Chain A
Amino acid sequence: MPRLTEQQAAAYWKRNLALMAKLLVIWFVVSFGCGILFVDALNQIQIGGYKLGFWFAQQGSIYVFVALIFYYTRRMTALDREFGVDEDQGA
């Protein structure tokens, strides 16, 4: 099984943290941002019968959460391959 050097391991972890940080910003914005902090402003916009802020709080944030996890999974699988720590070839 390939072992990462210390630098490689640090680089892998840094890339993981950067990806996480980016996705957690989106996670925060759609729920705490659109659903709570800026809900009144967004409620001025109407899509069908939904006020946009209300839609984010009761529907939209959940859809985005699902998308975030699958996007993270895909990107991490690619990152694992890049560093050769993918379990299919590694173990």
Chain B
Amino acid sequence: MDLRTLSYIVVGSTFALYIGIAIWSRAGSTKDFYVAGGGVHPVANGMATAADWMSAASFISMAGMIAFMGYGGSVFLMGWTGGFVILAMLLAPYLRKYGKFTVPEFIGDRFYSRSARAVAVICLIICSVTYVIGQMKGVGVAFSRFLEVEYDTGLYVGMIIVFFYAVLGGMKGITYTQIAQYCVLILAYTIPAVFISLQLTGNPIPQLGLGSAMAGTDTYLLDRLDQVVTELGFDRYTTHERLSTLNMFAYTASLMIGTAGLPHVIIRFFTVPKVKDARSSAGWALVFIAILYTTAPAVAGMARLNLMQTIEPQPGNYLAYEERPQWFSNWEKTGLLAFEDKNADGLIQYSANAGTNEMVTVDNDIIVLANPEIARLPNWVIALVAAGGLAAALSTAAGLLLAISSSISHDLLKGMIAPDISEKAELMASRIAMAVAIVGAGYLGLHPPGFAAGTVALAFGLAASSIFPALMMGIFSKAVTREGAIAGMVAGIGVTLLYVFQHKGIMFMPGTAFLGDSPENWFLGIEPNAFGVVGAIVNFTVAFAVSRVTAQPPASVRELVENIRVPAGASAARDH
């Protein structure tokens, strides 16, 4: 069977599965819609959180980023996993005890202010919308590369699928489809990795294979990789730093606290029955995430080595362009690989020197997407990778859309505009908000605004600098006041946006970066995507300073804080 037919069958059956789950898990109440009824098993929630959390960026791009950055790519590995430790200890159990539906709702209650709630809604929408654009693009790209349909068509199909289970089932539908999507994406990620590890090292476990000797020799794979890349003038794979130690430190910290502050991840912990389930569920989520995140560096190193050895089989002996393998020409068509014969010798010279390098484009994404073909795996594995990429993008998109739509129907409509609305009307409103959010996200995916290029990384900086500090202070301090929290959120997200805009352009429009985008102009050499941690420090500082000069929070707030710190009496997630 040819690859295209096979891809259609595999992707089609996963979609049929998602729709089946959607019909089976319709939401009957707002509690179903917002928190899946509040009765999700912690292991099941861990799995759903893993799919919710691992986006197209984790599935498709991360291994590629590591492959071309080497050790410097570790910021993504540590940053995107370390946040779950913070979430498990510092946020999830207390927010679960609080037991309501949305993140802005907590901020509004703890800081006894509708304005604080509104500011939190705005921060949430800014973070989630920047994030969801990347996912919609991921859906379109995955469709166009694997199923050879137009990007636009692919996006429409993706929207219809998400529409089905998110509008019908809300959090309930999303939870059960995310569990299915996790299974699809983890199989799609690990199967090629096991094969490639076996081929290169004889060890079927990629995590061990990366530290093993090359099959049939006693040279370690990583030493060989270091040798191959340095011969071509690249930095040593295992020690190549990302800009500076301070920058790596700031980047990792920003990703960690951004992870802990992303609303679509936090609300997943509202779906488990008990406080202790929220703690263990974070652990299970990280187990399921770690399976992919510890495999990714192996895929990165091995695929990089495979790529280099294909192009330069012996030192100084380059592959002739005419003899390039089939996958090479396949991916040339997509523009992810591009060759330019600068010295017209018909050979592919790959080098770190931009003047003589003839591999003019090697897109990061190629590492995961072409991995099965480079390793000569059967077609069904390639079809599975397509389904896995789509599962990763769709599951994250649905989680984000729920965070957006629930903050609109529950925080804005029910919380501020029409508090007397009936539950049935609110459920209808939440479905409509979801439908509108899907159409809006689809529109942004079809017409990505200028800032879409840096969106996912930006979302972390914004969550780190606005929502995370507000939640931390809400739980760990009884002294932070309404004025303090609002000023802190505004200052934190403001400083982060300003820093990004001054170096990357206002709304990323070219030519508007009033301070140039190069390391010498950066504050302490910290790149814009790593700036969230500085924004968070600003947020904390401003909030504590303002709280000292404003009237203390009322006694009821101190009681609320006392109450969420102790698990007993944690009732099921409830409305007011």
Contacts and interface: CB of A to CB of B under 8 A. Distances in A.
Interface residues of B, number: 51
B486 to A, nearest CB: 26
A10 B21 CA distance: 46
Contacts of A65: 81-82, 84-85, 286, 290
B60 to A, nearest CB: 19
Q: Which of A59, A68, A86 has the most CB of B within 10 A?
A: A59
Contacts of A86: 276, 567-568
Given A24-B89, A48-B212, A49-B211, A91 B565 contact: no
B245 interface: yes
B144 interface: no
Which of B213, B249, B568 has most A Cβ within 10 Å? Answer: B568
A49 B283 contact: no
B71 A62 contact: no
A66 B207 CA distance: 16
B74 interface: yes
A62 B290 contact: yes
Contacts of A85: 566-568
Nearest to B92: A69
A45 interface: no
Nearest to A37: B245
A69 B84 contact: yes
Interface in A25-48: 27, 31-32, 35-37, 39-40, 43, 47-48
B566 A62 contact: no
A33 to B, nearest CB: 10
B562 interface: yes
Contacts of B569: 1, 90-91
Given A72-B88, A80-B568, A57 B280 contact: no
Nearest to B249: A36
B567 A50 contact: no
A66 B567 contact: no
A65 B221 CA distance: 26
Contacts of A9: 562, 565-566
Given A20-B90, A62-B290, A50 B210 contact: yes
Interface of A: 1-2, 4, 9, 12-13, 16, 20, 23-24, 27, 31-32, 35-37, 39-40, 43, 47-51, 54-55, 57-59, 61-63, 65-66, 68-70, 72-73, 76-77, 80, 83-87, 90-91
Interface of B: 66, 71, 73-74, 77-78, 81-82, 84-85, 88-90, 93, 207, 210-213, 220-223, 238-239, 245, 248-249, 252-253, 274-276, 279-280, 282-283, 286-287, 290, 293-294, 297, 562, 565-571
Given A72-B89, A90-B569, 12 more contacts: A9-B565, A43-B238, A48-B211, A58-B66, A58-B77, A62-B290, A62-B293, A69-B85, A85-B567, A86-B568, A90-B567, A91-B568
